[in-house]
């Protein structure tokens, strides 16, 4: 999946806000300088967006997510989740459950995770993290 990035929730939230306000910011700038990249999500990311207020209406949520392919949560993703959870817990580095699932997808699919909040993701060994902003 060359030139494919997992676009984490924080980037999508920033993108939605910048677009709604008509203001160019880090998320729109990032998309503009990566015109040949394919931005994908996971079901966890879609769920985080559904939990927010701005995309609470099903029609808005569907329309916003339409351009993004959703990677399936496979047994391989689950295996990476378990291995990464054990490592982070053992080393006192545990991150949020949703971020852990997103990181596991990045490891399983060998894809970088683009995020506005790179600190936690950088705790995950072997995960390529791209900081936005």
Going residue by residue through the chain, which has 133 residues, state the pLDDT in tens, using 9 for 90 and above: 579 999 999 999 999 889 889 889 999 999 888 888 999 999 999 999 999 988 889 999 999 999 999 999 999 999 999 999 999 999 999 999 999 999 999 999 999 999 999 999 999 999 999 999 8
The first and second tokens of residue 120, run together, are: 């936690």
Closest among 47, 13, 38 to 28, alpha carbons compared? 13
The first and second tokens of residue 22, run together, are: 């008509």
Coil/strand/helix, residue 113: strand
* Spatial distance between the Cα atoms of 70 and 24, rounded to a whole number of angstroms: 26
Domain coordinates of the chain in residue numbers? 4-131
As a CATH number, domain 4-131 is 3.40.50.1010
């Amino acid at each position: 999946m060359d030139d494919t990035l997992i676009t984490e929730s924080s980037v999508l939230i920033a993108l939605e806000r910048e677009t709604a306000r008509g203001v160019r910011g880090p998320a729109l700038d990032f998309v503009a300088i990566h015109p040949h990249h394919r931005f994908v999500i996971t079901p966890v990311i879609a769920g985080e967006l559904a939990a927010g207020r701005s995309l609470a209406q099903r029609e808005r949520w569907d329309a916003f997510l339409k351009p993004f392919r959703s990677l399936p949560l496979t047994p391989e993703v689950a295996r990476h989740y378990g291995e990464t959870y054990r490592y982070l817990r053992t080393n006192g580095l545990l991150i949020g459950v949703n971020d852990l699932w997103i990181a596991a997808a990045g490891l399983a699919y060998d894809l970088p995770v683009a995020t506005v909040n790179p600190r936690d993701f950088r705790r995950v060994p072997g995960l390529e993290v791209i900081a936005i902003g």
